[in-house]
Amino acid sequence: GNSVTQMEGPVTLSEEAFLTINCTYTATGYPSLFWYVQYPGEGLQLLLKATKADDKGSNKGFEATYRKETTSFHLEKGSVQVSDSAVYFCALTQGGGATNKLIFGTGTLLAVQP
Amino acid sequence: GAGVSQTPSNKVTEKGKYVELRCDPISGHTALYWYRQSLGQGPEFLIYFQGTGAADDSGLPNDRFFAVRPEGSVSTLKIQRTERGDSAVYLCASSLPGSGSVNEQFFGPGTRLTVL
């Protein structure tokens, strides 16, 4: 079945450091890929998405590229801020007329220190 | 505008009791999803409504779980004979219709259920 695997946390970085959170997936067909973020005390929010191979999603300085050949969707940011501290979830949907239910990874806690 | 709202925010109950969790989606969103998030895990899909009907209930763990959406707006997740393993955060999300495209799902703040 479809699944998402993301690197375990917590990831602890100093402000302005480079961030990578790895995400790989297993899916049939052509899934759409997402990164969701959960800030402390808040609900899940969509951070970025990519709906086809080689697409790059970007938002708030974060980027991720849909790599079909490596079945990956790694999240990157060139310079993190304390306000980026949150739990990040990689997710996919099967799309194509299906229910579009999201399948999530286990989440990666990012802690950015000043 | 108003986002997805869920009530109650917290629910503590005893093993064996019945609980109802409510979700108010964003106005005009015909697609509604329920997910369950256990501690340290990502959300897991439970059920999907398109309008009033449950189009996909493949994620419901057993027949103690049931959900309704009688008028195509508010949805209620019902859990009978609760067990300690049902303790989790129950999330609701809504979106515009998804057929043929992928629309963003907007999540509510969740209901934290604790079964003692």
Tokens describing residue B84 = 């300690």
Kindly provide the b/e burial profile for residues A79-97, where b requires at least 16 CB atoms within 10 angstroms of the residue's own CB: ebeeebbbbbbbbbbbbee
Mean of all residue pLDDT scores within chain B: 93
Rounded-to-10 torsion of CA B59, B62, B64, B68 = 30
8 Å CB contact between A105 and A6: yes
pLDDT at position B97: 75
pLDDT at position B98: 58
Contacts B98 to A, Cβ<8 Å: 99-100
Average pLDDT over residues B36-58: 93
- Measured distance CA(A102)–CA(A114) in Å, rounded: 34
pLDDT at position B100: 47
How many Å lie between the alpha carbon of B82 and the closest alpha carbon of chain A? 25
Amino acid at A58: S
pLDDT in tens, B55-104: 899 999 999 999 999 998 999 999 999 999 999 999 999 998 755 456 78
- Measured distance CA(A32)–CA(A51) in Å, rounded: 4
Enumerate chain A positions whose Cβ falls within 8 A of a Cβ in B.
Answer: 4, 32, 42-46, 49, 51, 89, 91, 93, 95, 97, 99-107
- Measured distance CA(B40)–CA(A9) in Å, rounded: 10
Average pLDDT over residues B35-53: 94
Query: Of A51, A75, A50, A80, which Cα lies nearest the Cα of A64?
Result: A75
How many Å lie between the alpha carbon of A97 and the closest alpha carbon of chain B? 5
Residue A41 pLDDT > 90: no
pLDDT in tens, A52-110: 999 999 999 999 999 999 999 999 999 999 999 999 999 999 765 567 899 999 999 99
Tokens describing residue A15 = 């402000």
pLDDT at position A81: 97
A1 or A39, higher pLDDT: A39
What is the distance, to the nearest Å, from the Cα of residue B45 to the centroid of all Cα atoms in its chain?
A: 9
- Measured distance CA(A95)–CA(A101) in Å, rounded: 8
- Measured distance CA(A43)–CA(A38) in Å, rounded: 6
β-pair partners for A113 = A14
Contact A4 B42 (CB under 8 A): yes
Which residue matches tokens 């450091």? A17
pLDDT at position A100: 84
Which residue matches tokens 């480079």? A18
